[in-house]
Amino acid sequence: MSKQVQQVAIITGASRGIGAAVAARLARDGFAVVINYASSADQADRLVGALRETGARAIAVRANVASAAEVTQLFDTTERELGKVDVLVNNAGIMKVAQLADTSDALFDQTFDVNVRGSFNTMREAARRMNSGGRIVNFSSTALALNMPGYAIYNATKAAVESFTHVFAKELRGRHITVNAVAPGPVATDLLLDGKTSEQIAHFASMPPLERLGQPDDVADVVSFLAGPDARWVNGQVLRANGGLA
Ligand code: NAP
């Protein structure tokens, strides 16, 4: 009888927020998980420790997804320590709200570097070396559909990610790899909460008909579906997980 090989998942930006919840959920689903982060080494190490206590295989790997060389090293380390990649979750992302007229060149570059180039770097690497039958889950945002003032640069990066998702799903024909995206509505993480007043947060919480902010686990469960066997026939789609906000 052949021994079942444990599948390997890379989750970018998994030291905190939604990515940390996705890593915990995929570990519970039976994946060996790679917790990628940019600077929060302590939080990434703590998550690795907590997951290992449950019997999961988990490692933390620092890599700025905006750097192609660091992303190559991320895949190198993953293959060396855990094996070839089956699931890639492109969760790492940043959001700074600013009116277009007030957006600096530096903010434009930083947002596109992390959100767009970051997803591009990992997808290109995945195309070269991911196992057939694998899953890629990208991160868009429901903000894209809302067209709120201040979100032009962020939304433009997520529009690019959705384009990558649709095209890459077709380019991987023959490899049995699905490429989908999840587009959360407002989720209670640093990315949303930092710098906002309690009134602003209450406003975001009141927007979905389900009348609350999303929690990281709400999104992690959707990623688990897209990364798991039940989503085998879902490909090239954007799943808007947002409590009905439109
Ligand atoms: P978050 O709480 O701010 O966490 C962001 C994560 O990304 C952190 O682990 C951070 O690592 C990592 N990261 C940032 N820059 C990176 C880089 N250059 N390379 C590698 N990792 C990097 O954000 P979140 O709310 O969980 O957001 C996760 C994803 O969901 C993002 O793509 C975001 O656009 C999307 N999203 C969020 C919401 C929301 O309301 N929260 C709604 C829709 C979509 P360090 O800790 O090391 O900095």
Model pLDDT for residues 146-200, shown as the tens digit of each residue: 999 999 999 999 999 999 999 999 999 999 999 999 999 999 999 999 999 999 9
* Top mutation candidate among 16, 74, 117, 153 for ligand 1, by most atoms within 8 Å of CB: 16
Active site residue 37: no
Checking if the pLDDT of 2 tops 80, the result is no
**Based on the structure, what is the number of domains in the chain?**
1
φ, ψ of residue 191 in degrees (nearest 5): -55, -40
Which amino acid would we find at residue 242? N
Assess if residue 27 is contained within a domain: yes
| C-alpha of residue 2 to centroid of ligand 1, in Å | 39
Q: What pLDDT, on a 0 to 100 scale, did the predictor assign at position 3?
A: 60
Question: Phi-psi bin for 17: left (phi > 0), alpha (psi -120 to 50), beta?
Answer: left
Residue 81 structural domain? 8-239
pLDDT (tens digit per residue) in 213-226: 999 999 999 999 99
Whether residue 157 has its Cβ less than 6 Å from ligand 1: no
- Pick the closest to residue 242 from 203, 192, 185, 181 (CA basis): 185
Assess if residue 244 is contained within a domain: no
Taking the complete model, does pTM exceed 0.85, yes or no?
A: yes
Looking up residue 156, the CATH number of its domain turns out to be 3.40.50.720
pLDDT (tens digit per residue) in 74-111: 999 999 999 999 999 999 999 999 999 999 999 999 99
Whether residue 184 has its Cβ less than 6 Å from ligand 1: yes
Assess if residue 121 is contained within a domain: yes
Q: Give me the torsion for CA of 164, 166, 172, 178, rounded to 10°.
A: 110
Which is catalytic among the residues 154, 164, 168, 204?
154
Whether residue 39 has its Cβ less than 6 Å from ligand 1: yes
Assess if residue 211 is contained within a domain: yes
Residue with tokens 């599948």: 7
| C-alpha of residue 13 to centroid of ligand 1, in Å | 6
* Top mutation candidate among 18, 39, 62 for ligand 1, by most atoms within 8 Å of CB: 18
Assess if residue 84 is contained within a domain: yes
Half-sphere exposure of 144 (CA within 13 A, CB side): 21
Measured CA to CA, the distance from residue 159 to residue 165 in angstroms comes to 10
